Chain A
Amino acid sequence: MNYRIAALATCLLVSAGARAQSADSSPASPPEAASVERGLVPPRALGSLSIAYPAAAPARSEPVAVKVLLTIGIDGAVTAVQLAEGAGEPFDGAVLEAAKSFRFEPARMDGKPVEVMVPFTQTFLPPPPPSLEAENKKLDALLEGLVVERGSRRPVPLANLMARDREGEHFAISDEQGRFSLAVASGEVRVQLAAAGLRPFSRIEVLRPDEQLKVKYLVERESLNPYESVVVGTRERTEISRTTLSGRELHQMPGTMGDPMRTVTVLPGVTQVMSLLPIPMVRGSSPGDTGIFLDGARLPLLFHLFGGPSVIHPEFIDRIDFYPGGFPVSYGGYTGGIIDGQTVRPKLGENKVDLDLNLLQTGFFVRQQVPGTDLIASIAGRYGYPSLVLKALTPDLGLSYWDYQARLDGGSPKSAWSVFAYGAQDVMQMADSPGSSSMTTELLFHFHRLDLKWKTGTEEQNGNYRVLLGYDETQLAAGAVSNKSVFVDPQVSWSLPLASWLRVRAGGEALLRESGNPPEARPVEEVIGMTASLIQTSGRLFNVGAFLEAPVKPSERLLVVPGVRYDHYRDDKAQQRSLDPRLTLRCQPLEASELWLKAMVGRYHQPPRVFLPVPGADQASLELGLLVSTQYGAGVEVGLAPGIDLDVQGYYNAMNPVVFDLSINTLYPGQTMGPSSLPGQLPSDAGQVEVNPLTDALTKRRGRSYGLEVLLRKRDAKNVFGWLAYTLSHSERDYEKGWAPFDFDRTHMFNAVAGIRLPRNWEIGGRLLLQSGTPLNTIQGTNAGRADWQFRADLRVDKRAVWNSWLLDFYVDIVNATVSEESGGVSGGSGYRYVLPTIGLRGGL
């Protein structure tokens, strides 16, 4: 017979009480039967059922009740305790633990012991109100108040306070709101306060008899970081080579000047055009082959001119997803890698003010809930004045830039919308003559975006709808080459679970861009020759793309992700189509292990693009055809220890064709790639005719890259983050007479990054880079030699000063602190040395 149900139906009300700050509990009430059915004798307590007020518990002004269900066995022992209605820690834990030691005379049914479940309520009584009528009449004053964290103004719960007066020592613990109350003797009272993670606090108060003094103690944290890592869940991985960076890894990476978009250059598989031009080159592909996105929308310009920051304020970027290859079908139009900066939907009540001032720029960021609504507005802007520094070196050069971002978030988590407007401008001017104050605009980049988004549903099942509107303008060669364009880019995607093991993700986009030269501009052919018409993007572009992906999870240890993408590109002169099938596998060979094997194969197409991202020049003439790459990859991920991961990947990319390869070493017709046919002389010395650089850029070639990437990473969990990254890489092009290294190929790339958080709000970080030199032309042939190895050390120191209600961040970030030489990368060309120190201040509320 199951007596549990019967016993519950005839539940016994058992209760006990405990008073705060006293080991004495109220007398335990003997169990009373609320109602007893015939034949059932309820259990009877043997001894006290009192539980002491938890020592670590805050003082409460109201009684605290914790209800549990006790399972009392036939021997009278409590065999299980189940929380029925908790009051939070440490009260719940105290009851659950203490109740295990209760002893009862077992319940009986018809005289036989039976197992029963009974409810038990423990009531912790509030402490007696400290007042002038306190038990000890000598305590004739009252000190009450709040303990608050200095800087953030957050209340500090569970802070231990001790007041020492002429009568002795008195203790209190702050509650969840940081409140405390202490009855003390009048006169001089020394107050000391301690709590985990806080610096020691000491005060001397002087109270008069019968005085009630209200104080607010501002206590400083040992370490306060606005980029605390918050893990909100593990994102499902359906690809093999995504690396996600967030928190301090993004905002306090040495050598990046706090710019999140620069951090990818420290990851495996990535090099950059040059240190001062941090355009990423991924797995041996040209910069134009790697897509730069913001929330899945293409960014027309990644960095401001000449090593400036990225065009989006860092506070908007919550994380960076980096795919060096094998990226999902939702990304189209690229054959290299993908860098996607992700913004985050702000939380209600999340207010923030950030001012940034350094030697090169001034910026601000403000986030505020719109009063009386559930809307959150975020506004940011920056103005850069690198000319102030540059004029000391080259007075005839003028550089300036600005950018802005304005975003409004509304709706609910299940139906969220946002309006995001952003834009930027870069201007480079040259003096009309040396020393002249009259300047001419030689180069101008300018763009605006309006991004309207609506997401409905949950993480499991959702629909995403977006319209992106844009304006782009580029002027080169003092306006001789000019292009302005407007576009509209609607996008839609859905995610739908069809079964517990099958999900479907599908979507599409359509891009319509109208562009053309302004009537006052000179014909571009006058400037850079006939081939320029292939680069020019005047006219109308219409691109349509659609994708379908179906992750299949036949077991918890196997994930298969087949996908396909179709794109149709059309301009005034030609149209092109592409179909890209892709397949990814992830497998956990050993149950309950931290070992994953992974593999991918996929095909990738993209329209031809100029070497570097430029507003409005997202696509060159389709008469050149599409660039194609077939990518293969396999690897292993191992969790070595909590927070420490090892990721090893091998890859092979077959590129056919490549166009618009970024090239710096001169080519000569007929030059051999192997042993030189021109012993003792470089081709130029032999009087050979160089290949026109534009003709070289428009020549279709085969390319291939292959290598191995190793990433040993310590995630930002507490005080230390960092990684060791090594890349073994070969990137080659099939020139006329054979394969030779790509101009930016680096065989070995080693990066070490570490950031350490120290007491008193210090943080120190460093980055070491060691990599092979780029190829050089020699008498042995094109790119047969190598420049010297490159070493670079970056350093960053952050000090956070905490004021009563705001923070002031002082930082020093030094790029190439050892002024190491970097090769110019061109045969016979000069190396250069530089150091780029940035000293900045950031204030935040």
Chain B
Amino acid sequence: MRKVILVWLAALLPLSALAGEPPKVLSEREAVDDDGYRVSLSMPTEDDRAAWMQPGLRVELAVEEGYLLAVAPAPRMLGTTFHLRTRLRLDDSWSLAATLGYTLARGDYNGARWTALVEPIFHPLPSLGVSLALGFGGLSLTQVKLPATMPDNSGEIASRTFADGEHLYSCTGGAWAGQARVEYLWVAGPLFSTGPYFVADSQWTACTRELGPTDLETGAPVLGKQWWLNLGAGIGWWFSWR
């Protein structure tokens, strides 16, 4: 059922874009108060779509379903991501956004992923945005099914980098994240718009796992380190206020 609805929505939105949307008129709330005055709000002072092209701040929330492929030694993972984006509309063609993303990851490993991205967005059409984002991304994951006998790391005396063949049963750390995104803007009023987006995703993580012993020189835990690379894609829906 959900797929059917999504297909309908995907089909309808481009059609409405081609048809060209008439300027929206606010539903006016009018009433007569106790003193006999007719209470009135302002009519729209500008076209809704023109309002969304004005420079200024927008704040957006988005939800996304995504998949990151396994690129050894990294595992694959599915995830539901929630985004908070502050976007500065610069002019008719450009926006600049800062996006925070938090993913509930599932698959062979469970845990969380987070990203903090800076995102220049180009608008080839008023209702379309294309962006390339780059920033920080991190993971905190633990393998779901641990072996009955875990390797004995009690002899480790200092932190070291694991080879690709060695298995890291959990990963905490961060490094780079990058995304490419295409978004559609459907203006629902002068203050609210929404729409779908598609994203190509990447995550480059400096994973660490505490092995148990303490580094005698520093008092810090001894760590196992490994680099993970994940590539993937996702689809999401965003809600924007200005």
One of A209-217, A359-367, A442-450, A734-742 at the interface: A209-217
Contact of B216 (CB < 8 Å), options: A193, A680, A797:
A680
Asked if B39 CB lies within 8 Å of chain A CBs, one says yes
How many angstroms between the C-alpha atoms of A830 and B221 in the bound complex? Answer: 7
Asked if A681 CB lies within 8 Å of chain B CBs, one says yes
In the complex, are the beta carbons of B45 and A200 less than 8 A apart? yes
CB distance from A521 to the nearest CB of B (A): 40
In the complex, are the beta carbons of B219 and A804 less than 8 A apart? no
Q: Which of B213-228 contact A (CB under 8 A)?
A: 213-214, 216-221
Q: Which residues of A contact B217 (CB under 8 A)?
A: 778-779, 785
How many angstroms between the C-alpha atoms of A758 and B59 in the bound complex? Answer: 12
One of B8-16, B30-38, B121-129 at the interface: B30-38
CB distance from A383 to the nearest CB of B (A): 26
Q: Which residues of B contact A760 (CB under 8 A)?
A: 56-57, 191, 242
Contact of B38 (CB < 8 Å), options: A201, A216, A776, A830:
A216
In the complex, are the beta carbons of A778 and B100 less than 8 A apart? no
How many angstroms between the C-alpha atoms of A191 and B21 in the bound complex? Answer: 27
Asked if A829 CB lies within 8 Å of chain B CBs, one says yes
Asked if A788 CB lies within 8 Å of chain B CBs, one says yes
Asked if A585 CB lies within 8 Å of chain B CBs, one says no
Asked if A759 CB lies within 8 Å of chain B CBs, one says yes
CB distance from A558 to the nearest CB of B (A): 49
How many angstroms between the C-alpha atoms of A680 and B217 in the bound complex? Answer: 8
In the complex, are the beta carbons of B39 and A837 less than 8 A apart? no
How many angstroms between the C-alpha atoms of A204 and B45 in the bound complex? Answer: 12
One of A224-232, A504-512, A810-818 at the interface: A810-818
Q: Which residues of A contact B219 (CB under 8 A)?
A: 682, 776-778, 784-785, 787, 827-828
Asked if B94 CB lies within 8 Å of chain A CBs, one says no
Q: Which of B30-75 contact A (CB under 8 A)?
A: 33, 35-43, 45, 56-57, 59
Asked if A764 CB lies within 8 Å of chain B CBs, one says yes
CB distance from B66 to the nearest CB of A (A): 18
Q: Which residues of A contact B172 (CB under 8 A)?
A: 821, 833
Q: Which of A198-246 contact B (CB under 8 A)?
A: 199-204, 213-220
In the complex, are the beta carbons of A814 and B114 less than 8 A apart? no
In the complex, are the beta carbons of A759 and B56 less than 8 A apart? yes
Asked if A698 CB lies within 8 Å of chain B CBs, one says no
How many angstroms between the C-alpha atoms of A798 and B168 in the bound complex? Answer: 41
Asked if B169 CB lies within 8 Å of chain A CBs, one says no
Asked if B29 CB lies within 8 Å of chain A CBs, one says yes
Asked if A145 CB lies within 8 Å of chain B CBs, one says yes
CB distance from B153 to the nearest CB of A (A): 13
Residue of A nearest to B212 (CB): A828
Residue of B nearest to A826 (CB): B219
In the complex, are the beta carbons of A214 and B57 less than 8 A apart? no
Residue of A nearest to B59 (CB): A797
Asked whether A804 and B45 contact (CB < 8 A) given A795-B100, A797-B59, the answer is: no
In the complex, are the beta carbons of B140 and A819 less than 8 A apart? yes
Q: Which of A673-717 contact B (CB under 8 A)?
A: 680-682
How many angstroms between the C-alpha atoms of A788 and B216 in the bound complex? Answer: 15
How many angstroms between the C-alpha atoms of A795 and B85 in the bound complex? Answer: 11
Of A204, A216, A821, A830, most B-chain CB atoms within 10 Å:
A216
Q: Which of A638-691 contact B (CB under 8 A)?
A: 680-682
Residue tally, chain A, CB below 8 Å to B: 52
In the complex, are the beta carbons of B37 and A764 less than 8 A apart? no
Asked if B196 CB lies within 8 Å of chain A CBs, one says no
Asked if B84 CB lies within 8 Å of chain A CBs, one says yes
In the complex, are the beta carbons of B42 and A812 less than 8 A apart? no
Q: Which residues of A contact B86 (CB under 8 A)?
A: 764, 797
Asked if B116 CB lies within 8 Å of chain A CBs, one says yes
Asked if A835 CB lies within 8 Å of chain B CBs, one says yes
Asked if A750 CB lies within 8 Å of chain B CBs, one says no
Residue of B nearest to A219 (CB): B42
CB distance from A158 to the nearest CB of B (A): 18
Q: Which residues of A contact B79 (CB under 8 A)?
A: none
Asked whether A818 and B45 contact (CB < 8 A) given A216-B38, A797-B86, the answer is: no
In the complex, are the beta carbons of B221 and A837 less than 8 A apart? no
Q: Which residues of B contact A682 (CB under 8 A)?
A: 214, 216, 219
In the complex, are the beta carbons of B42 and A788 less than 8 A apart? no
In the complex, are the beta carbons of B37 and A203 less than 8 A apart? no
Asked if A146 CB lies within 8 Å of chain B CBs, one says yes
In the complex, are the beta carbons of B42 and A200 less than 8 A apart? yes
Contact of A828 (CB < 8 Å), options: B56, B112, B138, B221:
B221
How many angstroms between the C-alpha atoms of A115 and B86 in the bound complex? Answer: 68
Asked if B176 CB lies within 8 Å of chain A CBs, one says no
Contact of A762 (CB < 8 Å), options: B41, B59, B112, B116:
B59
Asked if B198 CB lies within 8 Å of chain A CBs, one says no
How many angstroms between the C-alpha atoms of A784 and B220 in the bound complex? Answer: 12
Residue of B nearest to A788 (CB): B220
Contact of A812 (CB < 8 Å), options: B35, B45, B84, B191:
B84
Asked if B237 CB lies within 8 Å of chain A CBs, one says no
How many angstroms between the C-alpha atoms of A817 and B102 in the bound complex? Answer: 9
Asked if A150 CB lies within 8 Å of chain B CBs, one says yes
Q: Which of A563-590 contact B (CB under 8 A)?
A: none
Asked if B162 CB lies within 8 Å of chain A CBs, one says no
Asked if B210 CB lies within 8 Å of chain A CBs, one says yes
Q: Which residues of A contact B242 (CB under 8 A)?
A: 760
In the complex, are the beta carbons of B42 and A199 less than 8 A apart? yes
Asked whether A218 and B39 contact (CB < 8 A) given A785-B218, A785-B219, A817-B116, the answer is: yes
Q: Which of A766-800 contact B (CB under 8 A)?
A: 776-779, 784-785, 787-788, 795, 797, 799
How many angstroms between the C-alpha atoms of A216 and B35 in the bound complex? Answer: 10
Q: Which of A282-319 contact B (CB under 8 A)?
A: none
Asked whether A215 and B37 contact (CB < 8 A) given A202-B42, A828-B219, A828-B221, the answer is: yes
CB distance from A192 to the nearest CB of B (A): 9
CB distance from B144 to the nearest CB of A (A): 16
Asked whether A764 and B38 contact (CB < 8 A) given A682-B216, A819-B114, the answer is: no
How many angstroms between the C-alpha atoms of A148 and B219 in the bound complex? Answer: 65
Residue of A nearest to B217 (CB): A778
CB distance from A401 to the nearest CB of B (A): 26
How many angstroms between the C-alpha atoms of A219 and B42 in the bound complex? Answer: 7
Residue of A nearest to B138 (CB): A819
0 or 1 for each of B76-102: is its CB under 8 Å from A? (1 = yes): 000000001010000000000000101
Q: Which residues of A contact B37 (CB under 8 A)?
A: 145-146, 214-216
How many angstroms between the C-alpha atoms of A821 and B136 in the bound complex? Answer: 14
Q: Which residues of A contact B210 (CB under 8 A)?
A: 830
How many angstroms between the C-alpha atoms of A682 and B102 in the bound complex? Answer: 39
CB distance from B161 to the nearest CB of A (A): 18
CB distance from B136 to the nearest CB of A (A): 7
In the complex, are the beta carbons of B56 and A779 less than 8 A apart? no
Residue of B nearest to A798 (CB): B59
Contact of A778 (CB < 8 Å), options: B29, B57, B216:
B216
How many angstroms between the C-alpha atoms of A762 and B86 in the bound complex? Answer: 11
Q: Which residues of B contact A799 (CB under 8 A)?
A: 59, 241
Asked whether A785 and B114 contact (CB < 8 A) given A201-B42, A828-B214, the answer is: no
6 nearest CB pairs, A to B: A776-B219, A828-B214, A216-B37, A785-B219, A827-B219, A201-B42
20 A–B contacts from the bound complex (CB under 8 Å): A146-B37, A200-B45, A203-B40, A203-B43, A216-B35, A216-B38, A682-B214, A758-B57, A759-B57, A760-B56, A776-B218, A776-B220, A784-B219, A787-B219, A797-B86, A821-B172, A828-B213, A828-B219, A828-B220, A837-B84
Q: Which residues of B contact A (CB under 8 A)?
A: 29, 33, 35-43, 45, 56-57, 59, 84, 86, 100, 102, 112, 114, 116, 136, 138, 140, 172, 174, 191, 210, 213-214, 216-221, 241-242
Q: Which residues of A contact B (CB under 8 A)?
A: 145-146, 150, 193, 199-204, 213-220, 680-682, 758-760, 762, 764, 776-779, 784-785, 787-788, 795, 797, 799, 804, 812, 814, 817-819, 821, 827-831, 833, 835, 837
Known A-B contacts: A214-B36, A219-B42, A799-B241. Give 15 more (CB < 8 A): A199-B45, A202-B42, A216-B33, A680-B216, A681-B216, A759-B56, A776-B219, A776-B220, A785-B220, A812-B59, A814-B100, A827-B214, A827-B219, A828-B214, A835-B114
